[in-house]
Amino acid sequence: MTVTKMSWRPQYRSSKFRNVYGKVANREHCFDGIPITKNVHDNHFCAVNTKYLAIVTESAGGGSFLVIPLEQTGRIDPHYPKVCGHQGNVLDVKWNPFIDNIIASCSEDSSVRIWEIPEGGLKRNMTEAVLELYGHSRRVGLIEWHPTTNGILFSAGYDYKILIWNLDIGEPVKMIDCHTDVILCMSFNTDGSLLATTCKDKRLRVIEPRSGDVLQEANCKNHKVNRVVFLGNVKRLLTTGVSRWNTRQIALWDQEDLSMPIIEEEIDGLSGLLFPFYDADTHMLYLAGKGDGNIRYYEISTEKPYLQYLMEFRSPAPQKGLGVMPKHGLDVAACEVFRFYKLVTLKGLIEPISMIVPRRSETYQEDIYPMTPGTEPALSADEWLSGINRDPVLMSLREGYRRPSQLVFKAPAKEKKSVVVNGIDLLENVPPRTENEVRWLMGILGWGGEPHVSHTWSA
């Protein structure tokens, strides 16, 4: 009698991240008494690095944000000094990835500003930015620093344009002009050679940022895209959005072929936006719902089933937005692989949530902390603009050692107050108030018509 050996394949792929859990900081390690902005714009309204937490606040007359040293937890004084130079609501803030005390902000006043935070935080209100950047004709909703290049900043406005700023000269050097509605999200691949965007026109685009050429475009009729994130170096994108039945869903895409998603997955029937966060080091994807307290997490792989659900962090307190600590700011001794800073508007509270891999050993866990992008840029602004791409400069987290960045931000001397395109000074035009005015202005500037054209700015 012959015995046939049956091959048994478990349906569940074993994962070292299967038991990752979220640990909320004790109340004394939270930030309390913060008048978080009530703005309904779909952004996080906060940014965090290894030194400071920045939070957009509710304020009368103009926009402002707080910058709090991370060790200064607990209740924040109601008269705590603010960064308050904008004339309209602040819509986004982002820390420079290579210089700890430099932060960019954008606002409804159609400007982008660069601020230098003094060592140890603010002692009085800051109204003077080191750089004020004007070029958008309407409010500016999004900003992103280039991931590998020092001094390159992207801004997306309600004029449907993305401007690329070279901060060495304090001027916009390129304009990406292929969107036909408001840009909702921007995400870079690892070396910053590609930019993915989602737009209110229901299209997902992969763009070569220096030329402005659209390399791939998806018309998402069934999956109304909201947010997009590049999944590291695996040539995949993940979007969050809404199905035609108004359920929240995610879709996985091949960045070189956006004709159809690889997979689409329904998440739930809640209405809030899903914010995606991807950790390329652990291949973990976190999905946080705006207006609910859940953070689901998954493991992403290049083979089927592509997306493995791991677990869910639940909390009764709804989140308005989430800041994320850079990798080199995590507590490796506690096996912390991700840290959120959750905005709880109703309580005026910012709550750190650590995602922890349970391990018994006290030693450094090599397998969960590979070399990771560090605090040194790979390129100068001129090198990147000339067409060079380089991978991020990696660092080890083994020593828990943070080499202080040697970079210092030098603001360019700016005398003239003009930005000239096609012989017309943009800054002489009052920001348009009506859609007709916008169309008229676009017609004069020759911005209507042909998409996929990138204008180079000349001053």
Q: What average pLDDT does range 26-48 have in this prediction?
A: 95
Confidence of residue 4 (pLDDT cuts 50, 70, 90): very low
Q: What average pLDDT does range 136-156 have in this prediction?
A: 98
pLDDT in tens, 354-389: 999 999 887 889 899 999 999 999 999 999 999 999
Residue 302 lies in domain: 21-391
Structure-model confidence comparison of residues 405 and 298, the more confident one: 298
Q: What average pLDDT does range 90-112 have in this prediction?
A: 97
Residue 155 in this model has a pLDDT that exceeds 90 = yes
In a domain, 310, yes or no: yes
In a domain, 262, yes or no: yes
Structure-model confidence comparison of residues 38 and 404, the more confident one: 38
In a domain, 453, yes or no: no
Q: What average pLDDT does range 103-125 have in this prediction?
A: 97
Q: What is the pLDDT of residue 259?
A: 94
In a domain, 430, yes or no: no
216-238 in b/e burial notation, b at 16+ Cβ within 10 A?
Answer: bebebeebbbbbbbbbeebebbb
Phi, psi of 14 (to 5 degrees): -65, 135
Structure tokens at 421: 């395109």
**C-alpha to C-alpha distance for 74 and 69, rounded to whole angstroms:** 11
pLDDT in tens, 262-280: 999 999 999 899 999 999 9
128-149 in b/e burial notation, b at 16+ Cβ within 10 A?
Answer: ebebbbbbbbbbbbbbbbbbbb
Q: What is the pLDDT of residue 60?
A: 76
pLDDT in tens, 162-220: 999 999 999 999 999 999 999 999 999 999 999 999 999 999 999 999 999 999 999 88
Residue 455 in this model has a pLDDT that exceeds 50 = no
User: What's 243's domain CATH number?
Assistant: 2.130.10.10
In a domain, 420, yes or no: no
Residue % of the chain over a pLDDT of 90 = 76
> What's the angle, vertex CA 243, arms to CA 238 and CA 244, rounded to 5?
150
Mean pLDDT, all residues of the chain: 88
Q: How many domains are contained in the chain?
A: 1
Q: How many C-beta neighbours within 10 Å does residue 120 have? A: 11
Structure tokens at 302: 């290049």
Confidence of residue 437 (pLDDT cuts 50, 70, 90): very low
In a domain, 418, yes or no: no
In a domain, 142, yes or no: yes
In a domain, 412, yes or no: no
Q: What is the pLDDT of residue 222?
A: 81
